[in-house]
Structure 1
Amino acid sequence: MTFFDGIAPIQYEGPESTNPLAFRHYNPDEVVMGKRMEDHLRFAVAYWHSFAWEGGDPFGGQTFVRPWHPQDRMETAKAKADAAFDMFDILNVPFFCWHDADVRPEADSFAQSLKNFEEIIDYFEEKMSTRKVKLLWGTANMFSHRRWMAGASTNPDPDVFAYAAATVKSCMDATKRLGGQNYVLWGGREGYETLLNTDLGRELDHMGRFLNMVVEYKHKIGFEGTILVEPKPQEPSKHQYDFDAATCIGFLRKYGLEGEVKLNLEQGHAILAGHSFEHEVAVAAADGMLGSIDMNRNDYQSGWDTDQFPNNVPEVALTYYHILKSGGFSTGGTNFDAKLRRQSLDADDLIAAHVGGMDVCARGLKAAAAMLEDGGLEDALKQRYAGWDTAGAKAMLDSDFDTIFTKVLSGEIDPQPRSGRQEYLENYVNRFV
């Protein structure tokens, strides 16, 4: 008997279907802008939320009772993997993602934890050899264990820096071995609680050197995937160094990494930073640093990262609009960094959550493609900035303040405000979603 007994592979049944375990909008073979929908969206299941998370929150402990609990033995780690790969098959997803701590039990020494990790990677490799599912990315959990309480690469203790380096090396090795298309670093505790005991400049320099070591090791082992960093503004640290896309881009440029590292952006993190997801995607795309996304949503009445499955089509459509406009994903994809509500206990809840999220993304993708093909937003942009395409405006950028001052003083230049027509554009978007 398996965890998902009785749940058949999910099929596309079309918009009129009332089957809660069927796709109504996600048809992997449907062609959108010349490419299969599956190849646009590149869906991935997050191993940590879907299988490692036990249903706790800041005010209460475990609510999920799974056959692989407690997650402290190799036998249960393999049972968890069995369930995970069953779900990948049911959903027919092309990718999955993991942290090292999600997939193997923690041991009393690094050597034994590594042995456990390598054993489960062997198990993954065997399962992947007979399936379509691939690894979108791997990463290291350097925030949960007490050793990481003051950070990993930014820790004031150099021994923790060394432990972090060894951990990331092992995870990069495993990611390469499984054919992973990216490697992600999220600095879950790379920040500070108080400046009273923090040498901020030194910590940033150490973080910059650590990431350069990651890039150096990537080239040493011949890993052809993309290195990604993931912004998040707060939670758990009071202030994290990877606050948002713009902060990360500035950090990468400071340490000479802008040609080697891209961003993995998450909707929930964008909201915590006071941004929309489309803003973060557009910022990364403008600098050529858009790599991949974690798709979820936050509860707008809560001030923390609730990691719910996406259900807001207009938000998702505008996000994919900027992704498509920038050329779409290359090695990246759409990872569901989302978890069930702690009252959603059953196996079919986990399937239904992914089915709904995949449908919302499919609707958003189709709306985004339709808007791009219609060209209404692009026409509005062209009209709004048309003045900058004139010979006079281009010459002004090559002139100086004295020349510009003379023209304004003479009355040759007398600007008259023009409507931004925001409501027209919002109504335009609503035609497609």
Structure 2
Amino acid sequence: MTEFFAGIDRIAHEGPESTNPLAFRHYDPDEVVLGKRMEEHLRFAVAYWHSLAFEGLDPFGGRTFDRPWYGDDMDHARLKADVAFELFSKLGVPYFCFHDADVRPEGASHAESTARLNAIADHFETKMAETGVKLLWGTANLFSNRRFMAGAATNPDPDVFAYAAATIKANMDVTQRLGGENYVLWGGREGYETLLNTDLGAELDQMGRMLSLVVEYKHKIGFKGAILLEPKPQEPTKHQYDFDVATCYGFLKRYGLEDEVKVNIEVGHAFLAGHSFEHELAMARTLGIFGSIDMNRNDIQCGWDTDHFPNDPREATLAYYQILKAGGFTTGGTNFDAKIRRQSLDPVDLFHGHILGMDTCARGLKAAAAMIGDGTHDAFVADRYAGWQGAEAQAMLKGERSLDQIADRVISEGIEPQPRSGRQEYLEGLVNRFV
């Protein structure tokens, strides 16, 4: 144990009547929902970068936090890991996630950075064995260092592409060694700011080639987890190639990777793309590429990715409804890509943030399960589209009718469709019954 969280015990479930701020009111890992333990449904993970590496900065100001592990050497990195696993254990989360730059200081060369990453992985193995906490996914930070200012895979300099490829390999190796269940690629700067200096086609081909290399290496080393691409529309890059789920699917189809790669969907990124989170989840479910989620929220009054902890049970309900309809998580889970506010200075604030998020998700999961169990919503949607089960409708859908044949039938039968109410307000009220 470290001294950083002294006085904070493991967080327990005390029920909805509890007023204890250091207890779960709704998240009970052993509660059975639709035949499965809640812990197995939600598969919570703590994000190493926001919880351990975030210094409290924002676009207009620097560090506000003062943590004993801040430092650019391996002793500080090991202390950070010790604090991290104490946090994971006291929260009772089964997983964590990390970028390489979160867990080890940058070396003077790629070889030194990789050696430091492997040394921290050794320490992680010990802590994982002690605590039982597992790795949901690993990834490489290919956006913070100035070498990546014009992109990583999409950089005009092939040496940057090669450096990024080597960095991804090192992180895939560590993710494999630690038993990670997924590997994520987030192209923070894979896009462009102006077409005046950009060869769009070349950059897309480079990005497709890098992802193909990743998939090839996955099979070479026998990695059993999923490869996940994380959509993000903007900020900092003006035109991001992985804009949203639909754009990612089109990209995957173009390069023949739609059966090899799924998506890791973040609430804040859906928001920046002009979508709701449930839309992105529904699109991924429909296209067959749903993988995992980053759970957070944005501030509607700010124009950047603010990464608050989730606090709206209704939004969580609509999200987990889509996740349950997709069959639930397999290798994926609920990673809190969320950070406490820069004025939330105390160690206990990290617990308050995660308890808020975990309880919000638990309420959403239970409400979504109740919606599905009730069946009223599903029945309404099925009835709305029931006409498509008719013989002529199926013939049109299957390509058995030409355009002129369809037109002839409309004229000969005197078809004059009448609008039917979509009953949106009724359905919104229906959702509220379960939240």
TM-score band, normalised by the shorter chain? over 0.9
The secondary structure found in structure 2 opposite 1:137 is: strand
Find out whether 1:25 has 2:9 as its counterpart: no
Where do residues 146-225 of structure 1 align in structure 2 (5 Å cutoff)?
A: 146-225=146-225
2:120 corresponds to: 120
2:356 corresponds to: 356
2:227 corresponds to: 227
1:417 corresponds to: 419
Deviation at 1:395, TM superposition (A): 2.2
For structure 2, the residue ranges without an aligned partner over 5 or more in a row are none
2:56 corresponds to: 55
The secondary structure found in structure 2 opposite 1:165 is: helix
Question: Which of 406, 409, 412 is the matching residue for 1:407?
Answer: 409
2:68 corresponds to: 67
Runs (4 or more) in structure 1 with deviation over 4 Å come to none
Counterpart AA for 2:432 = N
Counterpart AA for 2:254 = K
Find out whether 1:272 has 2:299 as its counterpart: no
Deviation at 1:409, TM superposition (A): 1.6
Deviation at 1:412, TM superposition (A): 3.4
Deviation at 1:112, TM superposition (A): 1.0
1:426 corresponds to: 428
Deviations 1:49-106 (A, max 9, x none): 0001101011000000001012x10000001001000001101100000000000001
Find out whether 1:79 has 2:79 as its counterpart: yes
Q: In structure 2, how many angstroms separate the alpha carbons of the residues matched to 1:386 and 1:284?
A: 24
Counterpart AA for 1:410 = S
Find out whether 1:109 has 2:86 as its counterpart: no
1:388 corresponds to: 388
Q: In structure 2, how many angstroms separate the alpha carbons of the residues matched to 1:165 and 1:405?
A: 55
For structure 1, the residue ranges without an aligned partner over 5 or more in a row are none
Q: In structure 2, how many angstroms separate the alpha carbons of the residues matched to 1:170 and 1:225?
A: 16
The secondary structure found in structure 2 opposite 1:431 is: helix
Where do residues 212-361 of structure 1 align in structure 2 (5 Å cutoff)?
A: 212-361=212-361
1:45 corresponds to: 46
Count of matched residue positions in the alignment of Structure 1 and Structure 2: 432
Counterpart AA for 1:356 = L
Deviation at 1:392, TM superposition (A): 2.1
Deviation at 1:302, TM superposition (A): 1.0
Q: In structure 2, how many angstroms separate the alpha carbons of the residues matched to 1:331 and 1:195?
A: 38
Counterpart AA for 2:108 = D
Q: In structure 2, how many angstroms separate the alpha carbons of the residues matched to 1:180 and 1:285?
A: 23
Counterpart AA for 2:154 = T
The secondary structure found in structure 2 opposite 1:351 is: helix
The secondary structure found in structure 1 opposite 2:153 is: coil
Find out whether 1:10 has 2:3 as its counterpart: no
Counterpart AA for 1:94 = P
Deviation at 1:376, TM superposition (A): 1.3
Deviations 1:140-162 (A, max 9, x none): 00000000000000000000000
Q: In structure 1, how many angstroms separate the alpha carbons of the residues matched to 2:395 and 2:233?
A: 41
The more displaced of 27-36 and 382-391 is 382-391
Q: In structure 1, how many angstroms separate the alpha carbons of the residues matched to 2:122 and 2:413?
A: 75
The secondary structure found in structure 2 opposite 1:97 is: strand
TM-score (norm 2): 0.98
Q: In structure 1, how many angstroms separate the alpha carbons of the residues matched to 2:84 and 2:416?
A: 65
2:35 corresponds to: 34
Q: In structure 2, how many angstroms separate the alpha carbons of the residues matched to 1:304 and 1:18?
A: 34
Structure 1 vs Structure 2 CA RMSD: 0.7
Q: In structure 1, how many angstroms separate the alpha carbons of the residues matched to 2:288 and 2:409?
A: 37
Deviation at 1:390, TM superposition (A): 1.0
Q: In structure 2, how many angstroms separate the alpha carbons of the residues matched to 1:401 and 1:183?
A: 46
Q: In structure 1, how many angstroms separate the alpha carbons of the residues matched to 2:404 and 2:204?
A: 42
